[in-house]
Amino acid sequence: MKNDYLRVLGIESSCDETAAAIVEGGRVILCNVIASQVDLHAQFGGVYPELASREHVRAIHAVVAQALQDAHLQMSDLDAIAVTRGPGLGGSLVVGVNMAKALALAADLPIVGVNHLEGHIYSAWLYSVDNPPTPEPKLPVVALLVSGGHTELILMKDHLQYETLGNTLDDAAGEAFDKVARLLGLAYPGGPSIQLAAQTGNPRAFNFPKARLDGKYDFSFSGLKTAVLRTVEEIKKTGKELPVADIAASFQQAVVETLYEKTMAAAEEHNANEIIVAGGVSANRALREAYRSQTKFRVHIPHIKLCTDNAAMIAAAGYRHIVAGETNALDFDVQANWPLVTKA
């Protein structure tokens, strides 16, 4: 069969989303089902691992069945299965991986375990079957991966080839959004809450620090978080009302500027053709606007729905492994701490 028509079922359960999707030719989304547990975890202000795996068990069968139904396909219409193998919560990953293995065995399909971060990068190749194709990223690219667990600048010279240019030394950008939201009394997850609060705030009201680091493409957000904490404590001491919108906008501005400036510098230094920005934080409107305001590089930022965790991105990354002849035997295990780039 021509690779353009290869149909991959993707399954994702690394954190608090149970998801299944079918993608054709590594790019066209035929269906994309996501059962989110976010409301369940909101009461704890973060993801509660044991609850997450229990909910994955409850949801996974229905999610896969819904994906097949939405695409009007049977298991026999599929060519391969891709599943998130890591990184993520061990107990949650196991649910998706076992489901994928059972389906692969029953339908006699090849299976591949995919790195979740690689999935986020490949979300830049996706478009929906109802929409015209979007231009494919032109390699080499510099990819900024910004999620709840990761903030990484990656040079991708070819498919499935990654070189780390920079990493966060402490908090991930999404984690910083979540922690600062909690400081400001805003709801979990913090990214969307800060974005909303920031809409009516002044991004220049507070001059929060941007970390200067030896590794020029590394990131650090803990100093920024501490600066916000100190500001909040000082204002509270005075008994004045907390200017939540101004703090949110100024914090968001500091994060966006840091991410944007380092990505642009990395793309220039490494002669990238284009830039990819992916992961949950790439849903942020101010961040998207920053990249769109320049004309030096074409920037691929996935549709908002594809920025946060989904299974279409896992199918898209899995497709590249399948066409490269890389599949797994059925005895592979999850890898809760699986770096995208293994250090030599």
174 binds, among ligand KG4, Zn ion, none (CB under 5 to 8 A by kind): ligand KG4
Q: Rounded CA gap, 47 and 106, in Å?
A: 32
Which position among 309, 319, 321, 334 is part of the footprint of Zn ion (CB under 5 A)? 309
Say if residue 302 is preceded by a cis peptide, omega within 30 of 0.
no
190 binds, among Zn ion, ligand KG4, none (CB under 5 to 8 A by kind): ligand KG4
Minimum CB–partner distance for residue 299 and ligand KG4 (Å): 17
Helix (H, G, I), strand (E, B) or coil at 10: strand
Q: 66, 317 in Cβ contact below 8 A?
A: no
Minimum CB–partner distance for residue 212 and ligand KG4 (Å): 23
User: Which one, 141 or 286, has the nearer CB to ligand KG4?
Assistant: 286
User: Which one, 5 or 44, has the nearer CB to ligand KG4?
Assistant: 44
**53 near Zn ion, rule: CB under 5 A:** no
318 binds, among Zn ion, ligand KG4, none (CB under 5 to 8 A by kind): none
Distances in whole angstroms, Cα of residue 232 to Cα of each of 235, 238, 272, 292, 315: 5, 10, 40, 32, 43
Q: Are strands 17-24 and 7-12 parallel, antiparallel or unpaired?
A: antiparallel
Report the helix count and the strand count for the chain, using DSSP H and E: 11, 11
- Residue found under tokens 């809450």: 193
Length of the chain: 344
Q: Rounded CA gap, 146 and 122, in Å?
A: 14
Minimum CB–partner distance for residue 103 and Zn ion (Å): 22
User: Which one, 175 or 274, has the nearer CB to ligand KG4?
Assistant: 175
Helices 173-183/190-198 angle, 10° precision: 70
User: Which one, 64 or 278, has the nearer CB to ligand KG4?
Assistant: 278
* Residue ranges in the chain assigned as alpha helix (H): 38-42, 49-71, 90-107, 116-122, 173-183, 190-198, 222-238, 244-269, 285-292, 304-307, 312-323
178 binds, among ligand KG4, Zn ion, none (CB under 5 to 8 A by kind): ligand KG4
Per CB under 6 A, residues contacting ligand KG4 are 15, 147-149, 174-175, 177-178, 189-192, 195, 279-281, 283-284, 308-309
Quick note: the x/- pattern for Zn ion over 117-156, rule CB under 5 A, is: ------------------------------x---------
User: Which one, 120 or 320, has the nearer CB to ligand KG4?
Assistant: 120
Count of residues that interact with Zn ion, criterion CB under 5 A? 2
User: Which one, 156 or 249, has the nearer CB to Zn ion?
Assistant: 156
Minimum CB–partner distance for residue 110 and ligand KG4 (Å): 26
Minimum CB–partner distance for residue 187 and ligand KG4 (Å): 10
- Burial class of 57 by CB neighbour count within 10 A (0 to 12, 13 to 18, 19+): middle
206 binds, among Zn ion, ligand KG4, none (CB under 5 to 8 A by kind): none
Token pair of 280, please?
């949950």
Minimum CB–partner distance for residue 62 and ligand KG4 (Å): 21
Find, among 325, 318, 326, the residue nearest to 78 by Cα. 318
113 binds, among Zn ion, ligand KG4, none (CB under 5 to 8 A by kind): none
- Give contact residues for Zn ion (rule: CB under 5 A): 147, 309
